[in-house]
Amino acid sequence: MKRATTSLRLIAPTALVLAFLLGFAQRGLGQCQIQMYPQYSSYSSFTTDGTHIYTSVTVSGTTYGYCPPCSPYDCNSVLHTPKALNVIGSVGGWSTGTPVHWNYYLNYTNNQSLAATEGYEYTWCYSTQVQCTVVGVFYNILPAVGYLSILHTTLRLTVDMGMGTCLTQPYCIGGVTPICSEPEIFDGAPCAAGWFCGCLAYRLSRSQPYSCIVAICNPTDVLPGPCDHY
């Protein structure tokens, strides 16, 4: 039984928006001054199919403001360019989207994937920017780091609730306690005797415990089975 791939939306824990409220045409005083107010959002997500880790970093939004005809700048030539940093392990880096007019909506995503080794922890680094042709970096999310790992867990059926709802608990060779588990699985009726599940474990710092996304579970009659633990 294959479960739908699940993603988790994260906001970078150290993500301070370095937004500039711009009156950058200092020669254009009063009503000739350009005003730009960023209204951007950034988010990141990750998921797995049991063998690969997929990461995504997005910046989207627009800029509000006013550029008067008397401004010393040609406002039609002021462009904003989205950038996104997405590095999982040794894969990825900064990528750049298409420049748009400063007050147009932009939406840019940097997607990466990695063929992962089970039980190995990969560092994930992510950030976003919007660059302005007049002032340089106009919007900036400070780089954040997380840690991702594909782990496996064997589960056994404890209660068949009917209608495909199966209550489970870990059942591991050697009686170990796995990092990832899943108390409830939606399977066919009747429920299988057990499942071998691939999970994506994540933590935002090495001082924190793991959280898990169970991405794929296949029925198994081999119980107890292997489980990843540290």
Using the predicted structure, report yes or no on whether residue 112 has a pLDDT greater than 70. yes
Per-residue DSSP letter, 77: G
Distance CA(181)–CA(40), nearest Å, equals 36
Three-state SS annotation for 157-207: EEEEEECCEEEEEECEHHHCCCCCCCCEEECCCCCCCEEEEEEEEEECCCC
- At 30 the pLDDT is 57
- CB neighbours of residue 193 within 10 Å: 15
Per-domain residue ranges of the chain? 8-145, 149-219
The whole-number pLDDT of residue 9 equals 46
Cα–Cα distance measured from residue 97 to residue 46, given in angstroms and rounded to the nearest whole number: 20
pLDDT on residue 19: 39
8-145 has which fold? Immunoglobulin-like (2.60.40)
pLDDT band for position 148 (50/70/90)?
very high
Q: Kindly report, residue by residue over 32-84, the tens digit of the pLDDT.
A: 787 889 999 999 999 988 889 999 999 999 999 888 888 777 888 899 999 99
Give me the mean pLDDT over the 105-131 stretch. Answer: 96
CB atoms within 10 A of CB 125: 17
- Mean pLDDT, rounded, for 188-209: 91
Q: Examine residue 170 and say whether the peptide bond preceding it is cis (omega within 30 degrees of 0).
A: no
Half-sphere exposure of residue 40: CA atoms within 13 angstroms, side-chain side: 35
